[in-house]
């Protein structure tokens, strides 16, 4: 089946945020990175593009006004005579965009048309910081590449299989009907990718695995994956819910907000407090960066230690809860900047969840930094994996398939599901 869509194509992946745009140019199939880079500090005087091509970095420092200008600069650089990977931008066969919120409408990645654009705009209400710059990236790419298929890959799509019992909040039902207030979940592209990889490493089919996937970066979320599908996840209506993160509080008693409102905080201040001033930063008063906190805790800083302890404790609670939700757990997977790199945090978390059958091999854990590895002991009932996430390759895959007239997957219900597994195997050069 895969051979039918094995035509060569260059796919550009764009992840447009409000202050930065990341990009990857892939040769498909096989997801070979031809060039990559990012534009940072958009809107500031000191904006800069860093472009990586053939092992070299090329930097341009000049003010980039907005996302549209950033895309223009990226396309110019990709077709630059000296540092570009393309002769001309018309060599780009398709563009894949990361879009944070797809509401209830998108259960898969989709080819972008007017209706999709209208929906992304509509869901900006639920993701005001993310969907508008995502959309700016789409519109700019459409402007420069009008005849090229553009694909939207949603962070929410993998979680579209979460059952109602897990996505409903115990609020008046009308709020769900009127405003769409429910759990949507995020980081779905990453959770899907690492769950599929874990299944492949274990020699299982992608719908044969029960896993708890822990995406621990500056944003953090934990997902319960049952038979290959997301059935619960820690983030909710927005990416604020769940475990504490770099600067986000995660779960808290909503009455805290009413109490603070009574003390004179307005909505914007509460929003900033919970999203920007809480989490590891708020607890430690030092940093949102786990490396700094580990260093400070080693030197005896009590608040840094507290922040780390709270972080681990809350992850432990989610892992325990999801073990109960799943009945049986085949694997716990760590990904994201902390999950992929922090030997210390993985040890601390794994040692706190031994009751679900996790037994960490300390030596394997120590050796597993920023690389795919199995880090459990031989006798461990539950496998433990470190799997560096590769959201951009997953987006490139979906984009390539859709641009070739195939449906990517999210759920078992999708009859074209096998293609994705085949493609993941091609990506990693092995059969799972
Ligand atoms: P991400 O958002 O996925 O890029 O992850 C960022 C987080 O990963 C930050 O909190 C970093 O401090 C953390 N991180 C990256 N490398 C390490 C490391 N070697 N040890 C501990 N934390 C790390």
| Ligand 1 binding pocket includes 218 (Cβ within 6 Å) | yes
292 CA: nearest ligand 1 atom: 12
* pLDDT value at residue 425: 38
Rounded to the nearest angstrom, the distance between the alpha carbon of 299 and the centre of ligand 1 is 19
251 is known as an active-site residue:
no
Rounded to the nearest angstrom, the distance between the alpha carbon of 218 and the centre of ligand 1 is 7
| Residue keyed to tokens 């590895």 | 373
d(CA 223, CA 188): 9
* pLDDT value at residue 18: 86
| Ligand 1 binding pocket includes 38 (Cβ within 6 Å) | no
Which of 219, 220, 245, 337 maximizes ligand 1 atoms within 8 Å of its Cβ, making it the mutation to test the pocket? 337
Q: Which two tokens stand for residue 380?
A: 């461990």
* pLDDT value at residue 420: 38
| Ligand 1 binding pocket includes 341 (Cβ within 6 Å) | yes
* pLDDT value at residue 6: 73
d(CA 258, CA 268): 13
| Ligand 1 binding pocket includes 298 (Cβ within 6 Å) | no
Q: Are strands 92-99 and 110-111 parallel, antiparallel or unpaired?
A: unpaired
* pLDDT value at residue 1: 43
What domains can you pick out in the chain, each with its CATH number? 9-154+392-421 (3.30.420.40), 204-389 (3.30.420.40)
**Residues forming a β-bridge with 13:** 24, 96
Catalytic residue among 136, 155, 330, 361: 155
Which of 338, 342, 366 maximizes ligand 1 atoms within 8 Å of its Cβ, making it the mutation to test the pocket? 338
User: In the chain, which residues have pLDDT < 50?
Assistant: 1-3, 415-432
Question: Is 112 in contact with 119 (CB distance < 8 Å)?
Answer: no
Rounded to the nearest angstrom, the distance between the alpha carbon of 308 and the centre of ligand 1 is 13
Rounded to the nearest angstrom, the distance between the alpha carbon of 263 and the centre of ligand 1 is 35
Kindly write down the DSSP assignment for every residue of 5-53, as one continuous string.
G---EEEEEEEE-SS-EEEEEEEETTTEEEEEEEEESTTSTT-EEEEEE
d(CA 188, CA 286): 30
Question: Is 340 in contact with 391 (CB distance < 8 Å)?
Answer: no
| Ligand 1 binding pocket includes 214 (Cβ within 6 Å) | no
* pLDDT value at residue 116: 97
* pLDDT value at residue 432: 25
| Ligand 1 binding pocket includes 342 (Cβ within 6 Å) | yes
Question: What's this model's pTM, rounded to 2 decimal places?
Answer: 0.92
């Amino acid at each position: 089946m895969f051979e039918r869509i094995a035509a060569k194509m260059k796919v550009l992946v764009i992840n447009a945020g409000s202050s930065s745009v990341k990009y990857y140019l892939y040769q498909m199939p096989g997801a070979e990175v031809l060039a990559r880079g990012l534009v940072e500090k958009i809107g500031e005087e000191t904006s800069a593009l860093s472009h990586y091509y053939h092992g070299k970095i090329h930097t341009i420092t000049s003010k980039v006004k907005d996302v549209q200008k950033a895309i223009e600069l990226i396309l110019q650089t990709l077709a630059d005579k000296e540092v570009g990977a393309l002769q001309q931008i018309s060599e780009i066969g398709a563009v894949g965009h990361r879009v944070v919120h797809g509401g209830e409408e998108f259960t898969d990645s989709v080819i972008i048309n007017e209706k999709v654009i209208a929906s992304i705009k509509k869901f900006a209400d639920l993701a005001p910081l993310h969907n508008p710059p995502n959309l700016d990236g789409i519109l700019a790419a459409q402007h420069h590449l009008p005849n090229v298929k553009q694909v939207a890959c949603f962070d929410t799509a993998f979680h579209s299989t979460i059952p109602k019992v897990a996505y409903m909040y115990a609020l008046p039902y009308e709020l769900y009907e009127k405003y769409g207030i429910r759990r949507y979940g995020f980081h779905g592209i990453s959770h899907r990718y690492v769950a599929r990889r874990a299944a492949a490493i274990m020699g299982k089919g992608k719908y044969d695995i029960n896993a708890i996937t822990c995406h621990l970066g500056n944003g953090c979320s934990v997902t319960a994956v049952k038979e290959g599908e997301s059935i619960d996840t820690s983030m909710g209506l927005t990416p604020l819910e769940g475990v504490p993160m770099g600067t986000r509080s995660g779960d808290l008693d909503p009455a805290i907000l009413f109490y603070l409102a009574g003390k004179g905080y307005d909505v914007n201040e509460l929003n900033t407090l919970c999203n920007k001033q809480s989490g590891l930063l708020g607890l430690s008063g030092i940093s949102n960066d786990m490396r700094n906190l580990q260093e400070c805790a080693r030197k005896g800083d009590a608040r840094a230690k507290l922040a780390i302890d709270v972080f681990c404790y809350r992850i432990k609670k989610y892992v325990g809860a999801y073990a109960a939700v799943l009945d049986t757990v085949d694997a716990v997977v760590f990904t994201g900047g902390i999950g992929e790199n922090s030997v210390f945090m993985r040890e601390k978390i794994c040692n706190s969840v031994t009751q679900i059958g996790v037994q960490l091999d300390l030596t394997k854990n120590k050796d597993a930094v920023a690389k795919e590895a199995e880090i459990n002991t031989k006798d461990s009932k539950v496998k433990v994996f470190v799997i560096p996430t590769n959201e951009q390759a997953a987006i490139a895959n979906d984009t390539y398939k859709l641009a070739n007239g195939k449906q990517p997957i999210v759920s078992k219900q999708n009859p074209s599901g096998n293609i994705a597994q085949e493609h993941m195997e091609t990506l990693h050069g092995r059969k799972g």
